Amino acid sequence: MEFIYRAKTKNGEEKTGKIDARSEKLALQILQSYDLIVIELHKKKENTIWDKIFFRKTNIKGKELVIFLRQLATMLSAKIPLISSLKTLLNQSDSAAIRDVIFSLVSSLDSGLMLSQAMEKTNVFSKFYVEMVRSGEVSGRLEQVFNYLADYAENEAELDAKARSAAIYPIFILIVFLVVGSVITISIAPQMVDIFQEFDRQPPALTMALISTGRFLINWGFLVLLVLVGVFYAAKNYLDSAEGQNIKAYWTMKIPVLGNIYKNIYVSRFCETLSTLLVGGIPIVEALEISGSATGNFVFKNIAEELSEGIRNGEQINKLMRKYEEYFPPLVNQMVAIGENTGRLSDLLKRVAVYYYNQVERGFSVLLELLQPVLIIVLGGMVGILIAGVLLPIYQLAQTI
């Protein structure tokens, strides 16, 4: 069972979080064993539909996860026992989210669970992380597994950062234009009516459009802002849902230029994860399913499940992949075929993953270089429209005086 607690340390620092235990009494004992003074402890309620819509759990940043994995790998390499390593990291971590996760892991380990089982219960680590740790527990290579997972998480965080940087610049330009445009249409455009009436002239169509927009925003701007905030919030909630994630994952790959970069990201993730799981001794059927989930894209997840089903029926991976050339380029299929025939599948998959990772880096570099001049042209055009609608009519009136 899962319990919600609120407690204080000996130094008076308040801590809140979740803990797994078979009973409330056992949960209290576990908390007290960490020198915590329990203020409140109750069983976690089942989430209602409103909780699912509005509730947001604390997210762990990619950088925080990398640091945690790297530190744990270092301590395990120094032959420090697992629980002692986690307790040390619990006291050292500056992240509340990481401390909550570590506390959950330690409490699960104290109750007799394996680390992989404890990670699975946190709902923070993906199936890929859980299976990799499980393979490390079986093979006795836990520290090597955590070193690899730290590298993997670092690469993933770097790719996510590049993807965000490619999106932030155009969003910033758009916001600046909307602010400037709103100021002009609200404060300047409506005042132009009196000027044209004084000269007994009819404003041009573009100017009239700006004047009408300005009047509308003055009367209804606050309501429009509330509606936009509501629409944005509802859209974000929907896109965070399973169905929304599926739709976003599909259409992301359809975006010109950027879609191909994202497709290469998913191919690289799929091949690297599959290679690593095969080296870790995970059966190929299960490894394919985990690799599909590790991409974070439902299209590749469904393809991986179909590949896994085909393997169960005795077919070869490269022949099955030919059905999905839209998502797996010919190079992937050729390398997989060679790997299957030579018994070097994991090695060649690793090389494919590195190749497409480099393609992603080059793709983002080219995209960012092209994006700036394109945005300058677009912004210049939008500013030109504002000038044509506001300044040129005034200049033309001044010429008639």
Region 118-129: mean pLDDT is: 82
Angle at 289 between CA 343 and CA 252, to 5 degrees: 110
Give yes or no: residues 386 and 241 share one domain: yes
Q: Is 79 exposed, middle or buried (0-12, 13-18, 19+ CB in 10 A)?
A: exposed
**Domain end: 154, 171, 192, which one?**
154
109 within some domain: yes
Write a three-state SS string for 333-366: HHHHHHHHHHCCHHHHHHHHHHHHHHHHHHHHHH
Region 81-87: mean pLDDT is: 87
**pLDDT in the model for residue 58:** 44
Please state, for a pLDDT cut of 90, what percent of the chain lies above it.
6
166 within some domain: no
Give the pLDDT band of residue 335 (cuts 50, 70, 90): very high
Where in the sequence is the domain holding 42, given as residue range(s)?
Answer: 2-46
Give yes or no: residues 135 and 188 share one domain: no
Give yes or no: residues 125 and 250 share one domain: no
174 within some domain: no
Give yes or no: residues 34 and 137 share one domain: no
Residues 219 and 29: their CA atoms lie apart, in Å, by 61
Residues 173 and 379: their CA atoms lie apart, in Å, by 8
Give yes or no: residues 139 and 198 share one domain: no
In tens, the pLDDT along 155-177 reads 777 777 776 776 777 778 778 87
Number of Cβ atoms within 10 Å of the Cβ of 69: 21
What CATH number corresponds to the domain at position 237? 1.20.81.30
Report which of residues 381 and 48 the model is more confident about.
Answer: 381
**pLDDT in the model for residue 194:** 74
Over 50: is that where the pLDDT of 269 sits?
Answer: yes
Give yes or no: residues 136 and 240 share one domain: no
Give the pLDDT band of residue 45 (cuts 50, 70, 90): low
Give yes or no: residues 40 and 121 share one domain: no
12 within some domain: yes
**pLDDT in the model for residue 400:** 65
Report the run of H or E that residue 51 belongs to, with start and end: helix 49-54
**pLDDT in the model for residue 351:** 92
Q: How many separate domains does the chain show?
A: 3
Contact (CB, 8 A) for 198 and 394 = no
Residues 183 and 178: their CA atoms lie apart, in Å, by 9
The three-class DSSP label of residue 302 is helix
Region 362-380: mean pLDDT is: 79
171 within some domain: no
Give yes or no: residues 223 and 354 share one domain: yes
Please state, for a pLDDT cut of 70, what percent of the chain lies above it.
91
293 within some domain: yes
**Domain end: 154, 173, 203, which one?**
154
Over 80: is that where the pLDDT of 363 sits?
Answer: yes
Give yes or no: residues 277 and 369 share one domain: yes
Report which of residues 115 and 174 the model is more confident about.
Answer: 115
Give yes or no: residues 355 and 279 share one domain: yes
In tens, the pLDDT along 50-72 reads 333 333 344 577 778 888 888 88
Residues 102 and 113: their CA atoms lie apart, in Å, by 14
Write a three-state SS string for 161-179: HHHHHHHHHHHHHHHHHHH
Over 80: is that where the pLDDT of 48 sits?
Answer: no
**pLDDT in the model for residue 49:** 36
In tens, the pLDDT along 229-255 reads 899 888 888 877 777 877 877 888 888
Give yes or no: residues 236 and 377 share one domain: yes
What pTM was computed for the model?
Answer: 0.66
**pLDDT in the model for residue 355:** 93
Give yes or no: residues 38 and 88 share one domain: no
**pLDDT in the model for residue 22:** 62
317 within some domain: yes
Q: What Cα–Cα distance (Å) separates residue 283 from each residue in 59, 104, 133, 279, 312?
A: 32, 29, 15, 10, 11
Over 80: is that where the pLDDT of 401 sits?
Answer: no
**pLDDT in the model for residue 226:** 92
88 within some domain: yes
Average pLDDT of the residues of the chain: 80
Nearest residue to 252 via CA among 189, 297, 292, 185: 297
